[in-house]
Each structure stands twice: as C-alpha cells, then as structure tokens.
Amino acid sequence: MKVLQIKNLKKRYGEKEIIKGISFEMEKGETVVVIGPSGTGKSTMLMCINRLTEPDGGEIYLNENQITGSKHPEIFRQKIGMVFQEFNLFNHLTVLNNVMIGPMRVKKFSREKAESIAKENLKKVGLELQMHAYPAQLSGGQKQRVGIARALAMEPDLILFDEPTSALDPELVGEVLEVIKKLAREGMTMLIVTHEIGFAKDVADRIIFMENGEIIEEGVPSLILNNPSQERTRQFLAKFMEGR
Amino acid sequence: MKMDLVSTLKVLLDGTIVTVELTVISFVIAFSIAIVVSLAQIYGNIPLKIIATVYERILRSIPLLVVMFILFFGLPSFGIRFNPFMAAILSLGLCSSAYQSQIFRGAILSVPKGQTLAAQSIGMNGTQIFVHVTLPQALRFAVAPLTNEFTIVLKDTSFAYALGVTELLREGTYIVSTTYEPLLIYLLCAAIYFTVTFSTNTVVRRIEKRFALPGFEFRGERA
C-alpha cells in the first residue's frame, strides 16, 4: 500500500517558486532519503507534507486519504511524525513529559498508558535513564533522540526527518543515525532530508536528488551515488566529495 | 496636639491597608484585562487587533492622574458616579492593564516558533498548543516584568491621594497637619512603601526560583 503519494506539489514565497511540481510515492516500510544543495526546497517540501506550511498546488495523500484541502490537518499530523533540525523539544517539560504529551493530550490516553508508551519509546532511543531531565540539561544528540521518541510515541505511519543531524557536533551525529537505522530495520516508513551521504547510502531504499525545487533523479543508492544519470547530480556529489 | 509613635504608626497602618487593597484589586483587574488585550493583539482578527491596539496606545499615553480626574470629576456629567476608592481602582486598573498587555504580548512572542511547530507536528490544535505549550513558557517570561509592574502600581496608588482616598500618603498628611513633623512622617511613609515593595520582590523571587526550568538562565544565575 502507498503510505504517501505526492502529486505535482507546488509552493511559492512571493515571486519565488520554491517547489516546482514534485511528484513521488512511498511504500509502507520504505526509507527514502532526499539529498541536494541547500535552499532547494527540501525542508519546505517536508513542511508541506504535514501542512505546517500550506502548499500552493498539487495533492498529497496519506494512506490514500487526501491531506491537502482537509479542514483538519491536525488529524493527519497525528499520523505523521516530524523530527526537526533544531529539535524543538518543549523546554518547560521533562524528557518523559515531552514524549507523553502527545499520547495524553492529543490521543487522550490515560496518564498511565501515556507514560508506559513514553517509557517504551525512550528505551528504544536509549534515554530511559534521562527521563526526568529537562531539555536544557541534555546534549544535542540526546535532545534529537528525545525528538525521535516524541514522534514515535504517536505511533505514526510515516516520520519526516528534517536534517536531523545538521545542528549536532560531529561526535554526536553517530548516536542519532544509529537510532534512525534501527527504525529502518524495524520497518518504519521514513522520509529523510540529510546531508550525510554515507548514511544515505546505508539506510536508504531509494534516494531522491532535488535541486531548485525539482526532482532531478531518483533511484537506489548504488545507482544515484555511484552512477548518476544526470550531470547536475554528478556535480553535486563531486562537490560533496571534495568537501570531505 | 502631639501624637505618640504608636498611635502614629497605627494610623499609618490603616492607610497601608487601604494602599494594599488599592494595589491588589487594581492589579487583578488589570491582569484580567491585559490577558484579553494581549490575546486579541496576537491571535485576533484585524478589527480585534485594531481595538486592542487603540485601547493600549491611548491608555499608555495618558497620565494616571488625568485618567483619575476624568473618571472621578468628568464622568458625573454623564450621570456616572464613582466613589473615590472605586475611581482610583478603575483608573489604576485601566492604566496598568495597558502596560501589562504589552508584558504578556512580549512574553507570548518570546516563546520560540519551533515550540508551536513541534506541537502542531504531533497533532495538537490551537487551544491545546496555547494551554500546554505557549502559556506555561510565557508565564515564566512574564513573572519578572509583572513583579516590576506590581511595584509600580503599588507606588502609583499614592495618586489616589488627589481623589481623597485615605490611603497611606493621605493618612500621613493628616498626621503632619497635626504634628508639624513632615520630615519624620513622610520618611515613615517612604519606609512603609519600601518595606511592602521589598518584601513583595523577595517573595516573588522565591516563587520564580521554584518554577525556574533546570538548565535555563534565571536572571543571570543558573537555576
């Protein structure tokens, strides 16, 4: 079954067209990684999928139900997790409460049930010992793992990752990527925007290369990374290798 | 007639009680109005925003004493009469509500945008986001400036003197008129204002520490 279908998605800010008609689909259990130069609309595309940003054109479906045009995007958002570059943990809540708040306030689960879901997911990301800490007391890598646990606690059908490791110190990147890899193995459906090409190679079932608001090409990692058909993809990857 | 210190202090204490009543009641009125005004300014539609902003701009631009005179001496022309105490409370409340609305507005806007995005991303609706995410953080930002505003209201209650309310300063003046000891009596008044303000600040500081977020800056100190 198609978890996500995007048809001709468009978004503009004023005169500038950020996304120029993107279409792709995701199967259940698939991990798709989006790569491409900065400022090409990758994050905007993610924000359009759960309508944190309102698209200007096109259609988006989650499990064959249309998200675009729905009067209640919050119903879809419950099933689409999102992990932010800047973590965006709730500063005033402990780690445990950050993860519980969704099941408790949105799904209206009892405190006990929400707490057991939260603990289970914190265990999954390896943070059950930090559950009474506040976000400001955690390292970046730990914060991001709480962010992932918070998304998981809603039992989403799809998780969107917006450059989950870009704000992290290099030595903290690994722990976050490990958690995402584990989720991929467990069959979570994930759409990941990242600049970690090595990680993309390991985790992706499919890579999408985006530039200037368009999909330039997509395919399995070995094809896109080792033998791209488009000149623009080649140039991007070559710049990347130089930078390393 | 010479008054002894004990009866002087007793009279001043009566005035202090009136001063505290004026402060607390008008502060609570102002607080309630201010929340509504700030919400209208941030989340309201265009007409609401305009009304709230006009209200806030006008009241912030008129001196408290002028507001008191309009309410107490002016409104009777329309048949609306307040006793001096009511007129003082209303004036203090209205003026302070304009300032407090800006404290709340600033506090709400200080909550980072990412907090709202994250709350939306787990499916919260607007009310849930405000109650569970924005408000608890905004209140913490608001405590310090609100304390400051409280002490300003406390000191501004002395303007009620002009309407004949027997608050601390007026009681002091009565005593001066019989004792001819202006320096001593007004210094006593000043000491009482200082004591009330200082102890309020101390109590609030304790409350603030109690609700400070671990790891977050607290007036330049780590909590």
pLDDT of residue A12: 93
Nearest to A30 by CA among A179, A177, A189, A182: A189
Contacts of A158 (CB under 8 A, 6+ apart): A3, A4, A26, A62, A79, A80, A81, A189, A190, A191
pLDDT of residue B2: 58
Instruction: State chain B's mean pLDDT as an integer.
Output: 91
Return the HEC string of A193-240. Answer: ECCCHHHHHHHCCEEEEEECCEEEEEECHHHHHHCCCCHHHHHHHHHH
Token look-up 């101390």 returns: B202
The mean per-residue pLDDT over the stretch B10-27 comes to 94
Which stretches of chain B are assigned E, i.e. beta strand? 217-218, 221-222
The mean per-residue pLDDT over the stretch B138-155 comes to 92
A61 lies within 8 A of chain B by CB: no
Nearest to A9 by CA among A52, A47, A59: A59
**Tokens matching residue B30:** 């102002």
The mean per-residue pLDDT over the stretch A159-180 comes to 94
CA distances from B100 to A28, A32, A96, B32 (A): 52, 50, 34, 9
The mean per-residue pLDDT over the stretch A191-206 comes to 93
B86 lies within 8 A of chain A by CB: no
Classify strands B217-218 and A80-83 as parallel, antiparallel or unpaired.
Answer: unpaired
| Cβ atoms of A149 and A160 closer than 8 Å | no
Residue-wise pLDDT tens digits, A210-231: 999 999 999 999 999 999 999 9
The structure's pTM equals 0.85
Which 127-166 residues of chain A touch chain B by CB within 8 A? 133-137, 150-151, 154
| Cβ atoms of A192 and A180 closer than 8 Å | yes
| Cβ atoms of B16 and B190 closer than 8 Å | no
A1 pLDDT band, cuts 50/70/90, is confident
Picking from A91, A102, A150, the nearest residue to B213 by CB comes out as: A91
pLDDT of residue A35: 94
Instruction: State chain A's mean pLDDT as an integer.
Output: 94
Residue-wise pLDDT tens digits, A21-38: 999 999 999 999 999 998
| Residue A243 confidence (pLDDT) above 80 | no
A54 lies within 8 A of chain B by CB: no
